[in-house]
């Protein structure tokens, strides 16, 4: 594989392991973040630091952004000393943040006027998958540019979908994340209700696993984390809340009634207000437990 100079802006919870995997696969890495400690940690592993998004773009063939929300991406892309001021016409900006599709398209229109290239490629799964390099990648934009980015993108994930025009990746990410958050909320409510009624967790999982109630949260995700009392973040409540908020806004723009999403957004808001914003989204189980006065747990691994 030919080595590429990749710029990476946004070295947070997900961005840092993603950037490390790019470097581990032999690409040169130029990094920038508002947190100098995050930059220093990557430099210690072999990356080169840049003082601004413009400097990152000027040094890179492909620039990746992994930022909290749309205003952050717009500022980094189009603001003073931003990516657009340094990006060459032969280079490419890949935004892997989860933001509103309309924001992605607005940035894309501004880029097109300058002859610059942008694709969106948000990611699915958790930080554990970011570390392992097995994220699901959802790209939107020009097919040739998506293929151009593929060798770098596949350093971070094991599945890449080209979902359509610019903004399509963001659209499927928001639809997916709203559904995922809704499912974990519903599973948590069901398990707490059953436990309060005297049913065993083993029985509920066994029965539900054979019916149309079966789902990956119940069978895979929750037994590894929340049902063991582990609420360390794999995907934070605050991020789920932001994604569902954006999904609800998208539905409203399209004229789609979304009462289930509204309930999920309210539930995530209640979890945040209860001090769980930076915990794993599995903390929705804890929210129901605290209200009901019961605890739903599997025996810890190795317990007698």
Domain residues of the chain, as ranges? 5-166, 171-292
Handedness of CA 80, 82, 84, 85 (dihedral sign): positive
Instruction: Tell me the residue ranges of DSSP E strands in the chain.
Output: 5-9, 28-32, 48-49, 62-65, 92-95, 118-120, 123-124, 135-140, 157-164
Pairing of strands 123-124, 135-140: antiparallel
pLDDT confidence tier of residue 78, bands split at 50, 70 and 90: very high
Residue 2: the pLDDT is 77
- What digits encode the pLDDT tens for the residues 184-193? 999 999 999 9
Residue 240: the pLDDT is 96
Q: How far apart are CA 1 and CA 10, in angstroms?
A: 25
Residue 129: the pLDDT is 94
CB neighbour class for 215 (10 Å; exposed up to 12, middle 13-18, buried from 19):
middle
- What digits encode the pLDDT tens for the residues 116-157? 999 999 999 988 999 999 999 999 999 999 999 999 999 999
Q: Which tokens belong to 137?
A: 């990648």
Q: Residue 25 catalytic?
A: no
Residues 6 or more apart in contact with residue 125 via CB below 8 angstroms? 134, 135, 136
Q: How far apart are CA 218 and CA 235, in angstroms?
A: 16
Query: Mean pLDDT over residues 40-62, rounded?
Result: 97
Residue 303 scores a pLDDT above 70: no
Active-site entry in 24, 25, 75, 173: 173
Taking the C-alpha atoms of 45, 48, 52 and 54 in order, what is their torsion angle to the nearest 10 degrees?
A: -130
Q: What is the pTM of this model?
A: 0.94
Question: Considering the domain 171-292, what is its CATH architecture?
Answer: Orthogonal Bundle (1.10)
Residue-averaged pLDDT of the chain: 96
Superfamily per CATH, domain 5-166: NAD(P)-binding Rossmann-like Domain (3.40.50.720)
Cα 48–Cα 54–Cα 57 angle in degrees, nearest 5: 65
Q: How far apart are CA 47 and CA 176, in angstroms?
A: 33
Residue 202 scores a pLDDT above 60: yes
Q: Phi and psi (nearest 5°) for 178?
A: -65, -45
């Amino acid at each position: 594989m030919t080595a590429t100079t990749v710029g990476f802006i946004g070295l947070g919870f997900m961005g840092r392991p993603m950037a490390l995997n790019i470097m581990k696969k032999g690409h040169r890495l130029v990094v920038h973040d508002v947190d100098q400690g995050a930059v220093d940690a990557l430099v210690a592993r072999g990356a080169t630091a840049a003082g601004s998004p413009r400097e990152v773009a000027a040094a890179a063939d492909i620039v990746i952004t992994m930022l909290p929300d749309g205003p952050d991406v717009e500022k980094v892309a189009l603001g003073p000393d931003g990516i657009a001021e340094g990006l060459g016409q032969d280079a490419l900006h890949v935004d892997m943040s989860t933001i509103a599709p309309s924001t992605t398209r607005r940035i894309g229109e501004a880029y097109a006027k300058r002859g610059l290239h942008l694709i969106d490629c948000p990611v699915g799964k958790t930080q554990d998958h970011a570390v392992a390099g097995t994220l699901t990648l959802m790209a939107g934009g020009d097919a040739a540019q998506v293929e151009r980015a593929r060798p770098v993108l596949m350093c971070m994930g094991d599945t890449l979908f080209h979902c359509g025009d610019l903004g399509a990746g963001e659209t499927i990410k928001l639809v997916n994340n709203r559904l995922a958050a809704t499912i974990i909320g519903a599973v948590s409510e069901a398990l707490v209700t059953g436990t309060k009624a005297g049913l065993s967790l083993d029985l509920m999982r066994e029965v539900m696993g054979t019916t149309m109630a079966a789902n990956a949260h119940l069978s895979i995700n929750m037994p590894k984390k929340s049902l063991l009392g582990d609420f360390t973040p794999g995907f934070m409540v605050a991020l789920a809340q932001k994604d569902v908020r954006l999904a609800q806004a998208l539905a409203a723009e399209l004229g789609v009634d979304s009462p289930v999403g509204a309930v999920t957004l309210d539930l995530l808001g209640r979890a945040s207000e209860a001090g769980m914003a930076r915990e794993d989204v599995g903390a929705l189980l804890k929210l129901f437990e605290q209200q009901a006065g019961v605890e739903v747990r599997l025996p810890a691994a190795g317990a007698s």
